[in-house]
Amino acid sequence: MRVYFTLSLLIIGAATWSCNRNQQTETVDPAEQRKADSLEMVKKAEEEARKRPRTADDIKLSTELTYDKHTLEEIYPYQDTTRRFQLDKIKEKLAFVENFQRAPASYAVLQNRKNKNREAPLVKNYHRNEYKLISDSLGTERYQAAPLYVVGETDAPIIYGRDGALAKLLSSDTLDMVKLEGVSFEGIWETPKRYVKAIGDTVTFHRVAFVDVTNQNILTAERIGDCEWAIRSMNPATSGVHKPPYAHETPLGIFVVQEKKAKMFYLKDGTSTIHGYAPYASRFTNGAYIHGVPTQSVNAPIIEHSWSLGTTPRSHMCVRNASSHAKFVYDWTETFNALVIVIE
């Protein structure tokens, strides 16, 4: 009898527990459940948004000038037409800058100013351009460039990487050949260590100067938050002109500010005679600097402005600015910690 009684109690208890559990489940507030589900959906959406590559539409670009001399409007008159700052294109480039920095990386810059790290070997397919200089299939000149090899194939490079180009370092820089993933260029390549300057994994590129060779202007932008950038200056500029044998156009692309000179002395074309200087020069690729108005004498005082600024290309690859704006860029950027992006 006792066994049956105990068994009956267990059955009754289990049934009671089951009923209570069902009652608890049934008494969950539907509004609270919807709220919890909604919060979970928001959390998932935010997580997906963080993973999604940034686009131009994500970039918030405000005008907060810290240099306000010779400032141009977003759209401004030029002769019998108008010119503009290509803000849509600038936002696309800023989204690219945001994206490549989202994952941790060790950065490096290609360097071979005046072939100081040796002349690059011949690429497999080359030609001579109008300047009678050897160039690769993409038009990048051998002079001052770094050779880029297919990984594991070191018989001859395929293309040249421009001096000042940014890359991610994928192998130890203690090796004779290092592996790179291009930021300024596409693909994964190998190049001799001597052409590479490692700049580490803590550098951030939050200051960018945009040079527009079509509209002949320059805009500087600074990152102030996630996808938030502030325009710091909007000014006329004069870029390089394609005029063999001495003057080169300013190359398009993404470059790192590598060097600064308070006075950049330049030679008279075809001679070894110093002709004058350009003040507050910030070099970003080959012999291309953002600098102030050049003088015609080494002893001349600094010239603030020129009628030629913002008109047509006429420089020797460099980007001329009002001298006070060149000083602003000179002071505002840090070497190996700021970018120059040239657009058309």
Q: What would the pLDDT profile of 252-301 be if each residue is shown by its tens digit?
A: 999 999 999 999 999 999 999 999 999 999 999 999 999 999 999 999 99
pLDDT at position 184 over 80: yes
In whole angstroms, what is the distance from residue 178 CA to residue 172 CA?
Answer: 7
pTM: 0.86
In this structure, of 24-28, 197-201, 227-231, the range with the lowest mean pLDDT score is: 24-28
Neighbours of 105 (CB within 10 A): 17
Q: What's the confidence (pLDDT) of residue 47?
A: 60
> Of 236 and 176, which is predicted with more confidence?
236
Fold of 56-101+204-343: L,D-transpeptidase catalytic domain-like (2.40.440)
Average pLDDT of the chain to the nearest whole number: 91
Query: DSSP string of 29-43?
Result: -HHHHHHHHHHHHHH
Please state, in angstroms and as integers, the Cα–Cα distance from residue 185 to each residue in 165, 313, 332, following that order.
8, 25, 26
Q: What's the confidence (pLDDT) of residue 7?
A: 40
286 φψ region: left (φ > 0), alpha (ψ -120 to 50), beta (else): left
Which pLDDT tens digit goes with each residue over 307-324? 999 999 999 999 999 999
pLDDT-derived band of residue 34, with 50, 70 and 90 as boundaries? Answer: confident
Neighbours of 151 (CB within 10 A): 14
How far is CA 102 from its chain centroid? 13
Q: What's the confidence (pLDDT) of residue 26?
A: 54
> Of 8 and 230, which is predicted with more confidence?
230
How far is CA 173 from its chain centroid? 22
CA-wise closest residue to 215 among 343, 62, 314, 94: 343
Whether 107-200 and 56-101+204-343 are alike in CATH topology: the answer is no
In this structure, of 51-55, 85-89, 145-149, the range with the lowest mean pLDDT score is: 51-55
The owner of tokens 């009898």 is 1
The Cβ-side half-sphere exposure at 113, using a 13 Å CA radius, reads 13
Tell me the percentage of the chain whose pLDDT exceeds 90. Answer: 83
Average pLDDT over residues 172-185: 90
Q: What's the confidence (pLDDT) of residue 342?
A: 98
Residue 236: is the preceding peptide bond cis (ω within 30°)?
Answer: no
Which contacts (CB < 8 Å, 24+ apart) does range 2-10 have? none
Please state, in angstroms and as integers, the Cα–Cα distance from residue 162 to each residue in 56, 61, 112, 246, 317, following that order.
26, 29, 8, 19, 14
Domain boundaries, the chain: 56-101+204-343, 107-200
Q: What's the confidence (pLDDT) of residue 5?
A: 41
CATH code, residues 107-200: 2.30.30
Please state, in angstroms and as integers, the Cα–Cα distance from residue 234 to each residue in 1, 40, 70, 172, 287, following that order.
98, 44, 8, 40, 24
pLDDT-derived band of residue 31, with 50, 70 and 90 as boundaries? Answer: confident
* Residue 246 amino acid letter: Y
pLDDT at position 17 over 70: no
> Of 210 and 25, which is predicted with more confidence?
210
Measured in degrees and rounded to the nearest 5, phi and psi for residue 255 equal -135, 160
DSSP code for 315: B
